[in-house]
A and B are shown apart, each in its own frame.
Chain A
């Protein structure tokens, strides 16, 4: 009858499976017998088991801290604090204070008004006295209302006390019921991983108690005292630090901009050169030629359906007069993506080779993608001014991470035995890279290129902020003048650009993968 699970079951199971009881005793240390009984009961039932741990209910978060359940500790502490705040607000804080102060003020005004009425009467100015008397009546009504409010607020204090008390008792109940269930889970973790804190820790209890005492008292003080010390509610920040730092950063930027002016100009000029070339192709070439070429590309790379879609998208852009701006955007995008790929792939190869370099680079890449773009627009403007090249640089900050990441990923996923085979047949590192690793990483790299292009496109509108023109400018203008129609039309133009480019690149990737 080992697995009997009715009444008396906990005892019989405890006897039958003594090693569990022993191990729970070893785990719980203090009150080992109680926990052995409780946990065997919990473990012998499939569903929810109602047990009540008085220690946990009375001591709440401090119990959890002593038993090493720090997650439970914070839950208990927050819940209790919420109830206590309500309770103490009802008990100690003067809820009627604000309306009562108003009533007092109104009362004084009323007295004064009555005095003036009396004065007018004394002087025989009956009409004036009537007018003043009407004013006094209005004041009286307001006064009564304020007094009512003050009373109501004071009465609400009782409600708060009742609610707080009820909530507090409820939370204590929840603590008592949930404690053993949580502790059993803790025990199971401890069984598998002996680094988990077991037993009753006085230090944990002390830390928990100090923390609870500190947090409770500060919070209750802040909520109950009518006019607490200012720093309780506002962090005592020092404005001068902020200004000093900002000024120092300003100086660094200005200095760098003048010291390395030639260097930054050189970069801007290089980008300009690339962009000019692309603009000759896209903007200055007569539109029918560009359109036909793009359509043919779509057909060859992605098939007839994409080609038809491309024609429709291009027609939309052209008919609504976005052609030139769209081509400007495409040139911008082309330059940004080209630079991303040209810089990103070698970096990706480098990062794939060196774990240490990648460990340093990874947070930088994360930062590049998470930093709000307005933030890095500032240094870009500081160093490169406004216009298209800085716009391209801003897009690159956003567009570089995917190509770097996916190149690294692709190269790391090349099977080691294949590169080893290549070495075994006498290949140089370069031959292995170009003949084996890059071809095998190509699908991943192509995905990276695609993502990079779309990332760059997503920055086109923001780049327009620093005068990079293109379709983004139209959106920006529409935003400024709340021109809904214009904005939506230009938005669709950008969308179509993105979809066409995406389809073309995807088609290219599939073609690369297709035959192998």
Chain B
């Protein structure tokens, strides 16, 4: 097994009949998106995207509609062919796979969940979940056994014999997830799986999915247009704009260190309570202050703002921050705490 389950290197996708020409021109002349459209009638879907996804992580790709995120995820299982670049999944270059090899990889190594569920309306829940196994030619007994198992994983025991239009949207998407898990793939591709659901159900499914992914230890590429969702689920987040990746980082990186105005705009309304930690907002202690803060409560430097607020409301004094050895290293006043919550104005 390779070290990096998903690896993209300089992936480009240009749509249009003159994509190859356009690609060459982009390479040699560095044309912009609009110039390519004007000269070749071609649309740049993905522009020079590279990233690695590590084992067991949930890698979120966040972008608005039209940013190319859904196009990008379809490169992983080659539902869309890249114009240029290299897509490596589990150590193999998917663009070089033969048809049968590609089908084998799709049916055994990669599970996919779709925005609009894409369940087969003429099949029961059980047969929907078993569809990937059926394609592989698994006998019926085995198909039923496995589908029973994955349905219980997503909490749908007892719904096996229903049809998709008889269950709610949230349940339908859990069927979609179960179907993706049925062939026990190493990689999960989630294309905006929860965006069609109402907020309450979405939250529920996010929590359920997070727990499940930790339990099953799948590597997940997760597409979303919702930064909240990306922060809640993502181990790391890549922000896409106009087919390019603007920034890759952990949720904390993204929120505290936005790469440009575009990202800054996005993170403005994100709650920082769980993402920013004491050491990021504290003032260093001066040598003479030890006595000044004798009354202050001591808080570890790894506490998040949420915890600091909890402590701060119990005391009139500023909070003193301690390092791993319990030594005082900084101080957080209430003013500073409030500014920290706001985002360090």
Task: Report A's interface with B, CB cutoff 8 A.
Answer: 415, 417-418, 420-428, 431, 435-436, 439-440, 442, 516
Contact B118 A421 (CB under 8 A): yes
Stretch at the interface among B131-139, B213-221, B259-267, B297-305: B131-139
Contact A425 B118 (CB under 8 A): no
Contact A425 B122 (CB under 8 A): no
Check: B106 CB closer than 8 A to any chain A CB: yes
Contact A426 B135 (CB under 8 A): yes
B265 to A: closest C-beta gap in Å:
31
Given contacts A422-B135, A435-B120, A516-B123, 16 further A-B contacts (CB under 8 A): A418-B120, A420-B79, A421-B119, A421-B120, A423-B79, A423-B106, A424-B77, A424-B106, A426-B132, A427-B103, A428-B103, A431-B135, A435-B131, A435-B134, A440-B122, A442-B122
Residue of B nearest to A442 (CB): B122
Secondary structure of the A contact surface, majority rule: helix
Residue of A nearest to B111 (CB): A425
Residue of A nearest to B137 (CB): A431
Q: Given the complex, which residues of A lie within 8 Å of B118, measured CB to CB? A: 415, 417-418, 420-421
Contact B131 A425 (CB under 8 A): yes
| Cross-chain contact of A417 among B103, B108, B114, B136 (Cβ < 8 A) | B114
Contact B107 A426 (CB under 8 A): yes
Instruction: Mark out the residues of chain B between 74 and 130 whose CB falls within 8 Å of any chain A CB in the assembled complex.
Output: 77, 79, 102-108, 110, 112, 114-116, 118-123
Contact A425 B121 (CB under 8 A): no
8 A-B pairs (CB sep. < 8 Å)? A417-B116, A423-B106, A424-B77, A425-B131, A425-B179, A425-B183, A427-B107, A440-B121
Q: Given the complex, which residues of A lie within 8 Å of B179, measured CB to CB? A: 425
Q: Given the complex, which residues of B lie within 8 Å of A422, measured CB to CB? A: 120, 131, 135
User: Which of B105, B119, B131 has most A Cβ within 10 Å?
Assistant: B131
A471 to B: closest C-beta gap in Å:
39
Check: B163 CB closer than 8 A to any chain A CB: yes
Q: Given the complex, which residues of B lie within 8 Å of A431, measured CB to CB? A: 135
Q: A417-B114, A435-B131, A435-B134 are in contact. Are A425 and B120 (CB under 8 A)?
A: no
Q: Given the complex, which residues of B lie within 8 Å of A423, measured CB to CB? A: 79, 106
Residue of A nearest to B133 (CB): A425
Contact B122 A439 (CB under 8 A): yes
B336 to A: closest C-beta gap in Å:
50
B98 to A: closest C-beta gap in Å:
13
With the chains together, A417 CA to B70 CA distance in Å? Answer: 12
Q: Given the complex, which residues of A lie within 8 Å of B102, measured CB to CB? A: 426
Instruction: Mark out the residues of chain B between 235 and 287 whose CB falls within 8 Å of any chain A CB in the assembled complex.
Output: none
Q: Given the complex, which residues of B lie within 8 Å of A428, measured CB to CB? A: 103
A224 to B: closest C-beta gap in Å:
60
Residue of A nearest to B100 (CB): A428
| Cross-chain contact of B79 among A424, A435, A442 (Cβ < 8 A) | A424
B153 to A: closest C-beta gap in Å:
18
Contact B106 A516 (CB under 8 A): no
Contact B106 A426 (CB under 8 A): yes
Q: Given the complex, which residues of B lie within 8 Å of A421, measured CB to CB? A: 112, 114, 118-120
User: Which of A422, A424, A442, A516 has most B Cβ within 10 Å?
Assistant: A424
B120 to A: closest C-beta gap in Å:
6
Q: Given the complex, which residues of A lie within 8 Å of B108, measured CB to CB? A: 426
User: Which of A420, A421, A442 has most B Cβ within 10 Å?
Assistant: A421
Contact B112 A424 (CB under 8 A): yes
Q: Given the complex, which residues of A lie within 8 Å of B110, measured CB to CB? A: 424
With the chains together, A108 CA to B249 CA distance in Å? Answer: 118
Q: Given the complex, which residues of A lie within 8 Å of B123, measured CB to CB? A: 516
B176 to A: closest C-beta gap in Å:
8
With the chains together, A469 CA to B107 CA distance in Å? Answer: 56
A25 to B: closest C-beta gap in Å:
36
Q: Give per-residue flags for B140-164: 1 if the beta carbon is below 8 A from chain A beta carbons, else 0.
A: 0000000000000000000000010
A120 to B: closest C-beta gap in Å:
102
Contact A425 B135 (CB under 8 A): yes
Instruction: Mark out the residues of chain B between 178 and 200 whose CB falls within 8 Å of any chain A CB in the assembled complex.
Output: 179, 183, 189
With the chains together, A435 CA to B122 CA distance in Å? Answer: 10
With the chains together, A417 CA to B104 CA distance in Å? Answer: 20
Q: Given the complex, which residues of A lie within 8 Å of B103, measured CB to CB? A: 426-428
B173 to A: closest C-beta gap in Å:
13
With the chains together, A239 CA to B135 CA distance in Å? Answer: 67
With the chains together, A417 CA to B114 CA distance in Å? Answer: 8
Q: Given the complex, which residues of B lie within 8 Å of A415, measured CB to CB? A: 116, 118
Q: Given the complex, which residues of A lie within 8 Å of B119, measured CB to CB? A: 418, 421
Q: Given the complex, which residues of B lie within 8 Å of A435, measured CB to CB? A: 120, 131, 134-135
With the chains together, A435 CA to B119 CA distance in Å? Answer: 12
B177 to A: closest C-beta gap in Å:
13
With the chains together, A156 CA to B163 CA distance in Å? Answer: 82
Residue of A nearest to B183 (CB): A425
Residue of B nearest to A424 (CB): B112
B266 to A: closest C-beta gap in Å:
27
